[in-house]
Structure 1
Amino acid sequence: MEPSRQNFRNKGKKRFITWKRLLKTCFVVLIITVAGGVCFWLLDPNALGNYIAQSRVDQGNHMRVGQVKHGHKRKGYVYGTNSQASGDISQQQLAKDARAGYPLKKLGEIAIPVQSGMRVGVHVSIFQGTSVTALAYGAGTAIANEKMGQGNYALSAHNMANNSTYFSPLQNELSANQRPYIYVTDHKRIYEYRVFSQNNQPKGKFIVPLTDTAVLNQPTNHQPQITLTTCYEIPPDYANAQNRVIVKGGLVRSMSWHSAPSNQKKLFFNRQ
């Protein structure tokens, strides 16, 4: 009996040592992870905000076209160029906006691939209206009842001052002189626009005060246009934006989703 009792004690000690080592290893891994996160945050204080913003964009991109998330019954769709936007939006405000209670209706998607004149791509969903909720998940239609491929198709989205999320690349990464292409889709058709030349009117890219709503006017020549609007961010504060970056282009062609080239359809599945 004595040897068996000793063996039992030895096994108990081994189990205790194994669990102790395991807990110690987990604790070390946790410390390293937290320390790494702190260092990463110190190197890039906006990293968390950018991650949360991209997460919202991804959620919007996973919604089906035509899908509606109903908000508060007293809140409806609002339009405009988001004149009250205060510049680079914090992750706290972004989370608050996402829960603001406005309805969220997905109309389609916009993609600006990496190409000549566009060093960083754009891919976000298009929602009805420019409520804070719509802009938390992607781009919003600035004019009521606007239609892709007709009139002035005007879209607004945030500038996170990171050259990547929402419409952020429009400020520094888009060169109108190279006349890049812009694609929008409702998953029935794909509409191809091309940024206007800087030598003609309207110019392909320019800055206006936040109070200038003339950019939403219908084209006088009846040529279908697209107008993209985002905050003009001035470093190092990236706040209280008083101006807007405007990008304009003209419709080149439209095609059914099924007849569109595969490389264009892929723009709406793989973020560039």
Structure 2
Amino acid sequence: MTNRMRKWIRRVLILVLVVLLGWLGYRWSMSQPALSPVKTVPKQLFGQAKIYSQTDRQKIAGTIAAQDQTANSLTKQGFVAIPKLSILLPIYDNAYSAKALNLGANTAQKGTPVPTMGQGNYTLAAHNWNNGYTAFSALQQKLKQNAPYYANGQFGSSDWLNGQTIYLANGDGVFRYQITGQDGVSQDDVSVLDPNARDEDKAKLTIVTCLFPDTTKRIITSAKFVGFDDWADASNAEVSYFDTKSQKINLAP
């Protein structure tokens, strides 16, 4: 074997090693919890420095409220955004439809009227795809680990997201909720869907998603209602979270 061939083989092997290490690094970064710096820095929804005119705001409001799934007999309620977790999803009205859950978040009422944003207990559900990013996956504190929501046969809770803001938006404006805690519950626990439930005597938001790896359990994220602004008065940052021309809807990686 000539020296030239040895050098060529060595370069090819180095290139293969670099590609392999890059691929392993990518796989590792994607497996990290939602608030790990390697996940949040590039993917966190950003509040743009842009100043939105009233015309811009009305266009965004129109997009948020547009009925785009009437062919599937679904009514869009608006959008949900959790900037810190890169979550931006449309909200439809049937959490008990597999087709609807594949399209975004859905109101999770059962035998009661569709909830109203900013009133009562607004209940939402979406998939946890166990990847820390798509749909409501980022709400689980640690990937592929039941704790702290369920451990040693006991349900538990977590405060890792306490104080984070969840935004709901519809054609009227932007509703703000502040996360107050997370709890693990059985998949059969429908008490979390009580339309009259409150959080610290305030209207609340309840988000339901599966736990992994024990998918017979659920993660319940609770948040209290803290304010509302119509589209004309919402801050530029809040409007930007729902600017779907700039922000990425996280149904897929």
TM-score normalised over the length of structure 1:
0.57
Q: Which has the higher helix share?
A: 1
CA RMSD of aligned residues (A): 3.2
- Could you say which residue in structure 2 is the equivalent of 1:152? 121
One-letter amino acid of the counterpart of residue 257, structure 1: W
In structure 1, the gaps of 5 or more residues are 1-35, 48-61, 72-101, 115-119, 197-203, 235-239
For 1:133 and 1:106, locate their aligned partners in 2 and report how far apart those are by CA, in whole Å. 14
Shift >6 Å, 4+ stretches: none
Deviation of 1:103 after TM superposition, in Å, equals 1.8
Secondary structure of 2:76's partner? strand
Secondary structure of 2:129's partner? coil
In structure 2, the gaps of 5 or more residues are 1-18, 31-61, 143-157
Secondary structure of 2:128's partner? coil
One-letter amino acid of the counterpart of residue 108, structure 1: G
Q: Relative contact order, CA 8 A, sep 6+: which one is greater? A: 2
**1:112-123 to 2 correspondence within 5 Å?**
112-114=82-84, 120-123=85-88
For 2:121 and 2:68, locate their aligned partners in 1 and report how far apart those are by CA, in whole Å. 24
Deviations along 1:208-263, whole A, 9 cap, x unmatched?
000000001122575210000100012xxxxx610000000110011101100000
For 1:264 and 1:69, locate their aligned partners in 2 and report how far apart those are by CA, in whole Å. 25
Deviations along 1:99-135, whole A, 9 cap, x unmatched?
xxx4232210000012xxxxx3211110112121211
For 1:241 and 1:171, locate their aligned partners in 2 and report how far apart those are by CA, in whole Å. 12
1:233 lines up with 2:198 in the alignment: no
Check the 8 A contact 2:82/2:166 in 1, yes or no: yes
Deviations along 1:33-74, whole A, 9 cap, x unmatched?
xxx9xx969x86xx9xxxxxxxxxxxxxx9652414344xxx
Q: Look at both structures and tell me which one has the larger radius of gyration over its CA atoms.
A: 1
Aligned residues: 175
Distance 1:113 1:64, change over 3 A: closer
Distance 1:177 1:108, change over 3 A: closer
1:139 lines up with 2:105 in the alignment: yes
**Paired-residue identity, %:** 28
1:111 lines up with 2:81 in the alignment: yes
TM-score normalised over the length of structure 2:
0.61
